[in-house]
Amino acid sequence: MRKKISLLLCAVAVMLCFTACKSSEEAVEYNTAAIDQTTEFMINYCANADAAMLEQWRSMREFTMELQLTQAGIPVTPESFLGALDAWEAAIDECGAYVSHGDFTSEETNEGLKVSAAAQFADRDATISFVFDEKSYMESMTVDGEYSLGEILEKAGLNTVLGMGTVFAVLIFISFLISLFKFIPALTGANKKKEEKTSTAAAAPAPVMVPAAPETEEDDTELIAVIAAAIAAAREEAGMEEAAAGGFYVRSIRRRPSNKWNS
């Protein structure tokens, strides 16, 4: 029994939700007269506006622009109005001068009421579309040019070639940069060697000039006489008679490899 009651309550809730959604959708009523007036005004004004008028609107303050649009009875915000002017200017550059447009058709979308009409321009046909909110205020205006299949394929091909060319150009530039990496170790090594030479030159003390000692030439004869006199004096003190008579001769003098007197 409880399960049946809960199922019945769920069904009633679902029905109420659908009824509320349906009533909310039916409650949205658009002012068709204001929409027709806005669409005709925007197309005629954009078609007749020159560069000076467009510049004047763009340089106008938002409050002043909103005041003028309200006084003119056009249900559009300043932001949407400037967006429509930019879209029309871009359409003129793409499709050429405006010629005429046909009847409008409307359909409700998630964004609001969409009103569109086929238009003729000097270079190509286009579709002018307006989007209005639930208060019948214009939110946006777009002009979409119509291209043939050949033009679409040509444009797609150009975009593909441009994209691939950009990618290859970037890859070639990256390859060029990578090829320069081999010069980095050589430059780094040269800088290190230069720094080492500079530091070594700064650390090494300046050589001190020591005057060379004058070479003395030894006179063997004088040396022999001195040695002989020393030996004679030593023998005389020892009481040897040969010392006075000159009983010894110094025949040669030879320097010993080591001098024990220094040890």
**pLDDT tens-place string over residues 119-129:** 999 999 999 99
pTM score above 0.85:
no
Q: Which residue, chain included where needed, has tokens 């090594």?
A: 189
| Helix 51-58, helix 78-95: angle, nearest 10 | 150
pLDDT at 48 over 80: yes
pLDDT at 207 over 50: yes
What confidence score (pLDDT) does residue 127 get?
94
Q: What is the mean pLDDT of residues 94-121?
A: 91
What confidence score (pLDDT) does residue 20 get?
47
pLDDT at 98 over 70: yes
pLDDT at 23 over 50: no
Distance CA 32, CA 44 (A): 18
What confidence score (pLDDT) does residue 8 get?
44
Q: What is the mean pLDDT of residues 9-33?
A: 57
Which one, of 59, 139, 43, lies nearest residue 91 by Cα? 43
pLDDT at 88 over 70: yes
DSSP state of 72: T
What confidence score (pLDDT) does residue 22 get?
46
Q: What is the mean pLDDT of residues 63-70?
A: 89
Average pLDDT taken over every residue of the chain:
77
Q: What is the mean pLDDT of residues 138-146?
A: 92
Residue 176 tokens read as 């060029």
Confidence of residue 183 (pLDDT cuts 50, 70, 90): confident
| 15 compared with 114, residue with greater pLDDT | 114
Residue 186 tokens read as 């050589």
What confidence score (pLDDT) does residue 5 get?
44
**CB proximity list for 122: less than 8 A, separation 6 or greater:** 95, 96, 97, 98, 99
Q: What is the mean pLDDT of residues 191-211?
A: 62
| 6 compared with 225, residue with greater pLDDT | 225
